[in-house]
Each structure stands twice: as structure tokens, then as C-alpha cells.
């Protein structure tokens, strides 16, 4: 592998290159099955709620020491195989100068919904210099994590655009779907703008020390395959192409995507994140049996009886064997009311199940 990254980057310097996560992401055999959880930082942890007291969500993302502390909390507590950077998909919007707040109990709310060609034309470009607090936070995290890799992330063009167009969370995405149908040219311009923003945000995290990058297209399962191919895939492809030279593993995830998995792969991902609408063995077969997978325990199982949960965890691990590499995760984020001790137990159980022996 060659990296367009500084010599002291954890992948280049060798700290994380042979970690279980990076070995699995790159299809190499592992001695322990790597596990991390989407949305492991925050929400479910009392130590998170304590340090967040009196500080708004977006302010906490932009305070480097605090964002770094929150990123490391679940790694210390659960012994997961990766940190996921504590931030949000709307952080680069804010740093580009767009009015946005994260309202507790609601999610991202925009100062103004983006609905017209004029709205899109007025969107400012993100100046990489504005990402200084992100770079600083990532630097602090990787110094603490040492041999444990940090995963950087961003929102994919469609999902991030849907928040801009709707103005506030609305899982049905009515205004977004209307713009796609009635004004595809403007929609295309909007997605191209988000793709540039997202690429800049991802590059900053990798250059500052992240060892892998995940693109979240959480709501893309709302689209048909034809809509995705025509209107969305070219922009997600542009994002993956725009980070390819960095040489870090690239993960692509969305929910309700069983019909879209081949497209998520074709957009340029190295690893496909699988949600709960398909099993890992079915997903592997659909993708030709040679793609590394991440997933896919149903988050709802975290509140089930331990015996039932343990049975599901074992099943997900067994099904992951169908792929050339498997990183254990949930099919979506950790629910806020999850008992953190259950997450720790899941990590212990996953680590106790030996991965299949593969010759190097």
C-alpha cells in the first residue's frame, strides 16, 4: 500500500496498519474479530452526558479537547477495536458558514431549507482552513488511541442534501423527493456541492490521523435503484474517488439498502456496511462473495434478554464468515437508552468467538 499521508500518520508509521480492524478491512486474516458500534460515542454513556452538560452538541464537536475525550470514552470503556470520531454529518455545513443547530431530541435543524436553484447557487464552498478544530481533535485522539485505529466519517451527498432540503429531520423526505422529481438539475448541483464539502471533510480527518473513513448514506434506502444510479451514485462515486489517493480503507453504509448493496460497492467502497434488512451471508452472495462486510446486529436486540442477544451475536459472527473479512457492528446506531454494560458484554463475546483460520 502507498499512502498520500504524512510519515507520522498511524497507518504509515505502522501503529494501526496491523490492527484487527485494518487487517479485516483489507481482507487479511485476523486473530480476533474486530468490533465497533455506530454511534458508540455519546448518548448511551453517563460519562458522555456528564462532559456534555451545558454545552450544545455542535459546540462540543468544535472544542477539540472535548470532542477527543468523547471519542475515546467508548474505546476505554468497551475495548472496541476502533474509535469513531465524535462529530456529526452537519459539522462541515456549519464550518462552511451555513446556519444549523442540533436540537436535543430532534436532530439537525437548518436556519433555512435549501429548495431553489438560487438557494443552491448561493451555498458557500468549505474552506479547508475552517477544519482546523477537526484536525486538532483528530490529532489528540490518535495520540491517545495509539495502536487502535480511528475511523473518520461524513454524510454522503444524498443523506446530507436531504437534511438541507427538508430543513429538519423527516424520514419520509417529501421535499427531497419532490426536488429530485421536479428539478433534477438543481438537485444535481446540490449533490455536487455536498460531494465537494464531504470530500474536504473526509480528507481533513484522514490527513490528521484517521486510519479508515466511513460514508454514511443513512436515508438512501428511500430511493429506487434507478433513482440511485441516475441521480445519486455519480456523486458518491466522486467522493470515494476524491479520497482514493489517501490509501485508507473506505466503508459505505446506508439503511434499507438490500437492493442497493451492489451500487454502494460500485461507488468505490472497499467495505460495505450492511443494515438489518438482509443477512450477512445473503449480502455476501449478492456481492459475489469477495467483499469485506461490516454489520449487522439488530440494535433492538441490545434490550433483549442476554441469552437471546448472545444467540444473535453468534449468528451474525457465523454469517460474517461468508465474507473474506468481517467487522462486527450493528445494523444502525446504538439506541440512546442502551445499557452500556450490555455493549461491553457484546464486545467480550465477539472477541471470544475465534475467526475462521485463513492462510495468508
Residues marked as catalytic: 39, 43, 52, 88, 163
Least separation in angstroms between CB 327 and ligand 1CP:
14
Least separation in angstroms between CB 52 and ligand 1CP:
6
Q: Which residues 131-190 are close enough to bind ligand 1CP by CB under 6 A? A: 153, 159, 169
Residue 107 binds ligand 1CP, judged by CB under 6 A = yes
Residue 257 binds ligand 1CP, judged by CB under 6 A = no
The site for ligand 1CP, by CB under 6 A, has a size of: 21
Helix extents (H) in the chain: 10-13, 20-25, 46-52, 57-61, 64-78, 91-95, 117-121, 132-145, 157-166, 174-182, 184-208, 225-227, 233-243, 261-266, 280-286, 306-320, 340-352
Among 5, 41, 96, 267, binds ligand 1CP (CB under 6 A): 41
Least separation in angstroms between CB 233 and ligand 1CP:
19
Residue 218 binds ligand 1CP, judged by CB under 6 A = yes
Give the containing element (helix H, strand E) for 97.
none
Please say which residue, 17 or 156, places its beta carbon nearer to ligand 1CP: 156
What does the alpha-carbon distance between residue 109 and residue 166 come to, in Å, rounded to a whole number? 9
Residue 72 binds ligand 1CP, judged by CB under 6 A = no
Residue 88 binds ligand 1CP, judged by CB under 6 A = yes
What does the alpha-carbon distance between residue 99 and residue 332 come to, in Å, rounded to a whole number? 27
What does the alpha-carbon distance between residue 122 and residue 104 come to, in Å, rounded to a whole number? 28
Residue 271 binds ligand 1CP, judged by CB under 6 A = no
Three-state DSSP state, 289: coil
Residue 84 binds ligand 1CP, judged by CB under 6 A = yes
Residue 333 binds ligand 1CP, judged by CB under 6 A = yes
CA-to-CA dists, residue 4 to 22, 214, 236, 251, angstroms: 17, 18, 21, 18
Q: Judge residue 69's burial from the number of C-beta atoms within 10 Å of its C-beta, 0-12 exposed, 13-18 middle, 19 or more buried.
A: buried
Least separation in angstroms between CB 231 and ligand 1CP:
19
What does the alpha-carbon distance between residue 223 and residue 259 come to, in Å, rounded to a whole number? 10
Among 15, 40, 199, 263, binds ligand 1CP (CB under 6 A): 40
Task: Candidates 103-111, 134-142, 184-192, 302-310: pick the segment binding ligand 1CP (CB under 6 A).
Answer: 103-111
Q: Judge residue 288's burial from the number of C-beta atoms within 10 Å of its C-beta, 0-12 exposed, 13-18 middle, 19 or more buried.
A: exposed
Residues at the site binding ligand 1CP, with contacts judged by CB under 6 A: 38-43, 57, 84, 86, 88-89, 102, 104, 107-108, 153, 159, 169, 216, 218, 333
Amino acid at each position: 500500500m502507498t499512502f498520500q499521508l504524512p510519515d507520522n500518520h498511524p497507518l504509515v508509521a505502522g501503529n494501526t496498519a496491523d490492527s484487527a480492524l485494518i487487517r479485516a478491512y483489507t481482507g487479511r486474516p485476523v486473530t480476533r474479530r474486530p468490533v465497533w458500534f455506530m454511534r458508540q460515542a455519546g448518548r448511551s454513556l453517563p460519562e458522555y452526558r456528564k462532559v456534555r452538560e451545558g454545552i450544545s452538541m455542535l459546540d462540543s464537536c468544535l472544542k477539540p479537547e472535548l470532542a477527543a475525550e468523547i471519542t475515546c470514552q467508548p474505546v476505554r470503556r468497551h475495548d472496541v477495536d476502533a474509535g469513531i470520531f465524535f462529530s456529526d454529518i452537519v459539522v462541515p455545513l456549519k464550518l462552511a458558514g451555513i446556519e444549523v443547530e442540533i436540537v436535543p431530541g430532534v436532530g439537525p435543524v437548518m436556519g433555512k431549507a435549501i429548495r431553489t436553484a438560487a438557494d443552491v447557487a448561493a451555498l458557500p464552498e468549505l474552506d479547508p482552513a475552517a477544519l482546523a478544530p477537526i484536525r486538532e481533535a483528530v490529532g489528540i485522539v490518535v495520540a491517545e488511541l495509539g495502536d487502535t485505529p480511528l475511523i473518520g466519517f461524513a454524510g454522503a451527498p444524498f443523506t446530507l442534501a436531504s437534511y438541507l432540503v427538508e430543513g429538519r429531520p423527516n424520514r419520509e423526505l417529501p421535499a427531497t423527493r419532490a426536488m429530485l422529481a421536479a428539478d433534477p438539475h438543481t438537485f444535481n448541483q446540490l449533490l455536487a456541492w455536498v460531494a465537494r464539502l464531504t470530500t474536504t471533510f473526509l480528507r481533513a480527518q484522514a490527513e490528521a490521523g484517521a486510519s479508515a473513513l466511513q460514508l454514511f448514506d443513512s436515508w438512501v434506502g428511500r430511493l429506487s435503484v434507478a433513482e440511485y444510479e441516475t441521480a445519486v451514485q455519480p456523486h458518491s462515486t466522486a467522493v470515494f474517488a476524491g479520497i482514493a489517493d489517501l490509501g485508507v480503507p473506505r466503508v459505505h453504509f446506508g439503511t434499507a439498502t438490500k437492493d442497493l448493496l451492489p451500487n454502494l460497492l460500485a461507488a468505490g467502497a472497499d467495505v460495505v456496511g450492511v443494515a438489518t434488512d438482509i443477512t450477512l451471508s445473503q449480502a455476501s452472495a449478492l456481492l459475489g462473495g469477495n467483499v469485506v462486510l461490516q454489520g449487522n446486529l439488530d440494535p433492538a436486540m441490545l434490550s433483549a434478554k442476554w441469552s437471546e442477544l448472545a444467540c444473535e451475536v453468534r449468528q451474525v459472527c457465523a454469517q460474517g464468515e461468508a465474507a473474506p473479512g468481517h467487522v462486527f457492528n450493528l445494523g444502525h446506531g446504538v439506541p440512546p437508552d442502551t445499557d452500556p454494560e450490555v455493549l461491553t458484554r457484546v464486545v467480550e463475546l465477539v472477541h471470544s468467538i475465534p475467526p475462521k483460520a485463513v492462510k495468508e
